[in-house]
Structure 1
Amino acid sequence: MSTTSPSPTEPTGSSGRTGPADDTAPDTRTEVTITKIFRRLMPILVIAYIISFIDRTNIGMAKEGLETDIGLSAAAYGLGAGLFFVFYAFLEVPSNLILNRVGARFWIARIMLTWGLLSMCMAFVWNDWSFYIVRMLLGAAEAGLYPGIIFYISLWFPKKTRAKAIGIFLLGVSLANVIGAPIGGLLLQMDGFGGLHGWQWMFLIEGAPAVIMCFWVWFKLPNGPKDATFLTDAEKEDLSRALKAEDKGEQSSHGDLRALGPVLKDKQIWLIVAIYFTHQIAVYSLSYFLPSMIKSYNDDMSSLTVGLITALPWIAAAAGSILLPRFATNITRKKSMVSGGLVLIAGGLVIAATSSFLIALVGFCLSAFMLFVIQSILFTFPTDRLSGAAAASGVAFINTCGLVGGFIGPTVMGSLEETTGNSLAGLWFISILAVCGAALAWGLKAATGREAVAEP
């Protein structure tokens, strides 16, 4: 990268206005630019994911009401929770390829509008099949949001800051559970108001923000650095140069499903899929069943108390996603953090399955602490190894396969609860798979076959 100072008449903004020369080194200017991007983009992305995850997982708070009011069994609830991922997974890759073609602004806004409306429709399910159908449609509507934003982040952030950016984005999951559980508990107390059940009010009120948010995305989210009015021409050029300098990933000349070619041939992608599968079983099993597991320790807890206690492990998850991903600066650290994190998840869940309430809560917090550290690190690999449409389809493919765990985890949890009568029985299943994922993590390799220089 050149360190030649720009000319005295170099443009200072996208308007083409001229100004005094900028004698700052390009690397330093890039760091300033990245800070500016964090401030302008990450709040939109995090809030969008908070809303999406609340709408995706708020059935955890509605579980008891659905069982009482429409006769939904634990097994039917687990199946419905998992069916969300069938259409979600099936449409992930096509959705991300469409985003790559039409731009993030339009496609993310479209996703938010349709999923918000369908989330509100959850208020009107009346039996098992209506529950299944709306959950599948909700999965189809939201398909592509997560991998789309992961790919979008790769368009803005160089490798050494990408894990940090993904970690901050995944903070949305933790905040969704921290915010969503207590709010859900409060909304459930509206039971009977206006002739509606509390869970119906919860779905209606929590689905509305996604519809509103789609307009914010449409007006404020640029498709890429070239469209960013908040960056100067010099900042755009430095960022483009920095991203191109490290772009050694395999590309595809196709913009359709043929872009999956380089993805399917990469053995490391398949290894990441296997690790991510074990991780997603833990994430979604806890997301959907943690409220009912908390309540199983004391059946006299109110819905608000359950919501407040459920928030504690997700506060731990938020702390982990803020504190740790920044240290994943080379392949050795990445492998250690992914493997060690999965072992900690397994250990925490074993503690929860075998202990009294307060110690079990500590176990849940230990497990949750590493959930999104692992996820933020795993999704740096496909954008390091691939680029363009291949990267977009690679991110979506990993998420698609991993989300099979999002179907299996809740389904198995529901079945084990119904057959054993113990809502904690499924924790052993999650723990065993997490240990398997920890062992697989030691096979991860850097894209170039060489470790990157460690950053402090």
Structure 2
Amino acid sequence: MAIDLEKRVMRKISLRIVPFIMILYFIAFVDRVNLGFAALTMNQDLGFSPTVFGFGAGIFFLGYFLFEVPSNLILNKVGARIWIARVMITWGVVSGCMAFVQGTTSFYTLRFLLGVAEAGFFPGIILYLSFWFPGRRRAAVTALFMAAAPLSTALGSPISGALLEMHGLLGLAGWQWMFLLEAVPALVLGVVTLFYLTDRPEKAKWLDDNERQWLVNTMNSERAAKGLTAGHSIWRGLADPRVLALSLVYFGTSAGLYTLGIWAPQIIKEFGLSSLQVGFLNAIPAIFAVVAMVLWARHSDRTGERTWHVVGACLLAAAGLAFASAATTVIAVLIALTLVNIGISSSKPPLWSMPTIFLSGPAAAAGIATINSIGNLGGFVGPSIIGWIKDLTGSFEGGLYFVAGLLVLSAVVTLLLARSSNKSIAANPINEH
């Protein structure tokens, strides 16, 4: 009877929450990396060098870094419904304003403000999932949510490529139309969020009384079971060495993720393809990544193992980047980018299942935001270094090897973290039940 109740509750909250937050993250990721497609024509229109473009792409994460922790703490205090809505509406406005970039100053300013506006969204959702789903189910649910990132590449790439073909309509360039039209869903969904999202299980009127009570009791019991082993204060979340180690791990995966998002279209474009062709080809690796990350996360949940699931995925992505640097045909590049996509995407769900094992309450809010904010600085370093090296050498090769090295470092730190702790943060059936 209890098992049937658990299945029913998990099915209800999964259907209610997961598809909606996937849509939100889908739009967030499109607005974050559509710059990679804009660059196919925008860089020439505005005279941006690879160094200028790479720095502008990456400066998003400086704004993100500065405002991430405060944003997540506010979400924990005022609730996800209001704060996520605020985040989406402000990032929609700033993203639309990217259509009116005139030069380097406005480019850098708007990318920085986009990072400020979006700060708190991703860690806020990770924290939000910890309110609703028991730890033993969290990697699989996180994988479904994070599948929106490769899905946004799979579906958004052809759309972005097609919007670039609107060049000249009403006197606007294709990249301007792309920024304007792709900002609209964030504004609309920000308003929808205010009416749709439920902050906590206690307020879930869409659950039956016995279902709601079971969920509340289960989540309260899980928090209580952490007892003395879980950190609760904000400072514990900020200062825990495991949080700092996971930040370094996430740094490498973020460098890989945004190298793909920002530079992959231009890497493919070098083979003399049209923007529309680039859009469709860039979608192919992401399709494989969606399937792989969901299966990998389910395996991680089923075995209760996290460490090697992160390590293996990071090493696969590093190998893919090394392969991409040596690829001489578009087919070889697509195979390499597929390996990178699968590795990057598959590393994240087991990684994000780790912090809430040893942190709860305000510490979890601060810790998750710290990992995401410091880790996402990799999104600044990766694209920026690639642009700089491209200017120096005329090739992507050196930059791709650099990012591959960061992913190897992520794998090594994950192993060291697991070995150095008496109670490994790698999830196991005892910790998560």
Q: TM-score range by the shorter chain?
A: over 0.9
Alpha-carbon contact 1:109-1:217 (below 8 Å) kept: yes
* Aligned equivalent of 1:441: 414
Residue correspondence of structure 1 range 128-143 to structure 2 within 5 A:
128-143=104-119
| CA deviation profile, 1:60-96 (whole Å, cap 9, x unmatched) | 0011322111111111110100110111111000000
The question of 1:50 aligning with 2:30 is answered no
Where does structure 1 lack aligned partners over 5 or more consecutive residues? Answer: 1-23, 253-258
Residue 265 (structure 1) shift: 3.8
| CA deviation profile, 1:169-209 (whole Å, cap 9, x unmatched) | 10111111111111011000000010000000000000011
| CA deviation profile, 1:39-66 (whole Å, cap 9, x unmatched) | 0111110000000110111010011322
Q: Distance in 1 between matches of 2:173 and 2:118?
A: 26
The question of 1:429 aligning with 2:402 is answered yes
* Aligned equivalent of 2:357: 384
Count of residue pairs the alignment pairs up: 423
- SS of the equivalent of 2:305 reads helix
* Aligned equivalent of 1:4: none
Residue 415 (structure 1) shift: 0.4
Q: Distance in 2 between matches of 1:147 and 1:116?
A: 18
Residue 293 (structure 1) shift: 0.5
CA RMSD of aligned residues (A): 1.8
The question of 1:112 aligning with 2:88 is answered yes
Residue 329 (structure 1) shift: 3.0
Alpha-carbon contact 1:381-1:447 (below 8 Å) kept: no
Q: Which moved more, 1:334-343 or 1:437-446?
A: 437-446
* Aligned equivalent of 1:364: 337
* Aligned equivalent of 2:279: 307
Q: Distance in 1 between matches of 2:132 and 2:364?
A: 14
| CA deviation profile, 1:4-30 (whole Å, cap 9, x unmatched) | xxxxxxxxxxxxxxxxxxxx22x4312
TM-score when scaled to structure 1? Answer: 0.89
Residue 447 (structure 1) shift: 9.3
Give the counterpart letter for 1:87 in structure 2.
G
Q: Distance in 2 between matches of 1:373 and 1:64?
A: 28
**Max Rg structure:** 1
* Aligned equivalent of 2:36: 60
Residue 449 (structure 1) shift: 4.9
* Aligned equivalent of 2:251: 277
The question of 1:338 aligning with 2:310 is answered yes
Residue correspondence of structure 1 range 390-401 to structure 2 within 5 A:
390-401=363-374
Structure 1 residues 183, 69: CA separation in 2 closer, same or farther (over 3 Å shift)?
A: same
Residue 164 (structure 1) shift: 0.7
Where does structure 2 lack aligned partners over 5 or more consecutive residues? Answer: none
Residue 331 (structure 1) shift: 8.4
TM-score when scaled to structure 2? Answer: 0.94
Question: Which of residues 264, 270, 273 is equivalent to 1:290?
Answer: 264
| CA deviation profile, 1:414-448 (whole Å, cap 9, x unmatched) | 10111110134311111112112112211344895
Residue 363 (structure 1) shift: 1.4
Alpha-carbon contact 2:238-2:363 (below 8 Å) kept: no
Q: Distance in 2 between matches of 1:404 and 1:410?
A: 10
Residue correspondence of structure 1 range 4-403 to structure 2 within 5 A:
24-25=1-2, 27-247=3-223, 248=226, 250-252=230-232, 259-296=233-270, 298-299=271-272, 301-329=273-301, 333-357=305-329, 358-403=331-376
Residue 330 (structure 1) shift: 7.6
Q: Distance in 2 between matches of 1:151 and 1:448?
A: 22
Give the counterpart letter for 1:312 in structure 2.
I
Q: Distance in 1 between matches of 2:54 and 2:44?
A: 15
Q: Share of identical aligned residues, percent?
A: 39
- SS of the equivalent of 1:162 reads helix
